[in-house]
Amino acid sequence: MANTLLTIGMITRKALAVLENNLVTTKQINREYDKSYAVAGAKIGNVLNIRKPPRFIRTDGQGLQLQDVTETSVPLTLTTQAQRSFVFSSADLALDIDDFSERFVEPATASLANQVDYDVLQQFVNVFSEVGTPGTVPNTLLAYLNGGVALSNQAAPNGQRALIIGPQMQATIVDALKGLFQSSERISEQYDSGNMGLAIGCKWSMDQNVPSFTTGALGGTPIVSANQSGSNIATTGWTASTKVLNQGDVVTFAGCFGVNPQSRQTFSGPSGAQLAQWVVTADVTSDGSGNATIPISGPSGFGIITAGPFQTASAVPTTSGAVTLSGAASTGPSPRGLMFHKNAFSLACADLPMPNGVDMADRISDDQLGISIRLVRAYDINTDRFPLREDFLYGVSTIYPELACRIAS
């Protein structure tokens, strides 16, 4: 009995299934599919503005005390059109869909999924909380438990938390704690797959795309120049004319402590109040006198705010107080795992327009998965071959950086 020629629809559905199965980190985050783009098709540059809820401060008493309501939003721009293209012969169309998928669809789609996961994990540079010691792979649960503390301090919900770690991080912690996490049935799975499953309130997964990072060179004895708030902190005491901090470095300032976003209570730890952490949003180079302004970001993408509904710190940094880097200077490159709640990051996808004048074209969109993938097939009469391209238009953004924490290793 002759084989049935494969249709573009069969190939597209198979590609969608392969893409979903190969996503690791992306499965754990918020995903948006905007139907408004399904009418005329989407173009690179379209923006989804994700609205964030307002915050309020405590008021007491019988008298009416009105507060201003400020809604904020985070733009999520569809910037990346990922493409994988390949070519096959007319004879290949007579293959069984599983054979065709193994030869063509799976390698191309797995590569695309790897790109998407990589882009999601690169959002670590927007995350200001970091635990662990750069250059030292955690071999106990403490670093991971402290990651959970960081999320809880920022009022992250207990459910839907995930932890993505690199291969060496996984090998180290599974070996150190084998037998302690799961029932006997799950313990055997640890040995079989190397995955730990569910532990300390998180779904643990390994992803080879976990980013590596090198801390800044630091240099000198940096201090804060004056009392100041906001997203740009003037400092002095650096080694002159030197690149002292890298984008993605995490810093603290003396006298500036973290606060819970709901109660505004100062974070406390084993040694007392905890300094607020801030992520450096651009490389920092000192001038000829050793001065440098550090661009920072913290909860909800804000800088230092010491009062009101969007308060992020207990007080402004102490004048002449120390600037401290998370980790030793110039450490790395070393991996940064990520612990996060689902809503920390978002990946948005939209329909690409369907072209005319081609042999075949198809698009599959899934609201639940938050994925839209398009396949277009043409015919080359000169070679009797069918070029096929697979496209996926998406954008990734950090929505709530306070709902994530970096695990240094």
CA 273/CA 313 separation, integer angstroms: 12
Compute the average pLDDT of residues 113-132. Answer: 95
Which residue in the block uniquely carries the two structure tokens 């783009």?
A: 37
Paired tokens of 370 = 């938050």
Per-residue pLDDT tens for 291-317?
A: 999 999 999 899 999 998 889 999 999
Q: Which of 1-5, 67-71, 236-240, 366-370 has the lowest mean pLDDT?
A: 1-5
Q: Where does 124-212+334-343 sit in CATH, by number?
A: 3.30.2320
Lowest mean pLDDT among 20-34, 170-184, 243-257, 266-280: 170-184
Residue 43 has pLDDT above 70, yes or no: no
Question: Binning pLDDT at 50, 70 and 90, where does residue 61 land?
Answer: confident
- Between 134 and 33, name the one with better pLDDT: 134
Share of the chain above pLDDT 70, in %: 87
Cβ distance 134 to 408 under 8 Å? yes
* Residue 131, pLDDT above cutoff 90: yes
Q: In angstroms, rounded to a whole number, what is the distance separating the alpha carbons of residues 189 and 206? A: 14
Domain 124-212+334-343 matches domain 215-325 at the CATH topology level: no
Checking if the pLDDT of 1 tops 50, the result is: no
Query: Quick one: pLDDT at residue 193?
Result: 47
Q: Which residue has the higher pLDDT, 166 or 92?
A: 166
| Distance of alpha carbon 238 from alpha carbon 201, whole angstroms | 41
Per the CB < 8 A criterion, the answer to whether 83 and 373 are in contact is no
- Distance from C-alpha of 22 to C-alpha of 111, rounded to nearest angstrom: 9
Please give the model's pTM, rounded to 2 decimal places: 0.85
CATH architecture of residue range(s) 215-325: Beta Barrel (2.40)
- Closest by alpha carbon to 226, among 253, 195, 257? 253
Query: Domain segments of the chain: what residues?
Result: 8-51+72-119+356-396, 124-212+334-343, 215-325
For residue 40, pLDDT over 60 is answered with: no
Whether the pLDDT of residue 32 is over 80: the answer is no
Residue 162 pLDDT exceeds 90: yes
Confidence of residue 185 (pLDDT cuts 50, 70, 90): low
Considering the chain, what is the average pLDDT of its residues? 86
Buried/exposed code over 372-396 (b: 16+ C-beta within 10 A; e: otherwise)? bbbbbbbeeeeeebbbbbbbbbbbb
> Does the structure show a pLDDT above 50 at 191?
no
Amino acid at site 365:
S
Better-predicted residue by pLDDT, 382 or 6: 382
pLDDT value for 285: 98
Task: Judge whether residue 29 has pLDDT over 80.
Answer: yes
b/e map of 96-118 (b: 16 or more CB within 10 Å)? ebeebbeebbbebbeebbbbbbb
Confidence of residue 404 (pLDDT cuts 50, 70, 90): very high
Question: Residue 152: pLDDT above 90?
Answer: yes
CB 41 within 8 A of CB 360: no
Lowest mean pLDDT among 4-13, 132-141, 234-243, 273-282: 4-13
Instruction: Give pairs for 368-373: CB < 8 Å, separation 24+.
Output: 369/16, 369/20, 369/31, 370/31, 370/32, 370/33, 371/16, 371/19, 371/20, 371/31, 371/33, 372/33, 372/38, 373/12, 373/15, 373/16, 373/19
Q: Return the closest-CA partner of residue 338 out of 5, 74, 29, 13.
A: 29
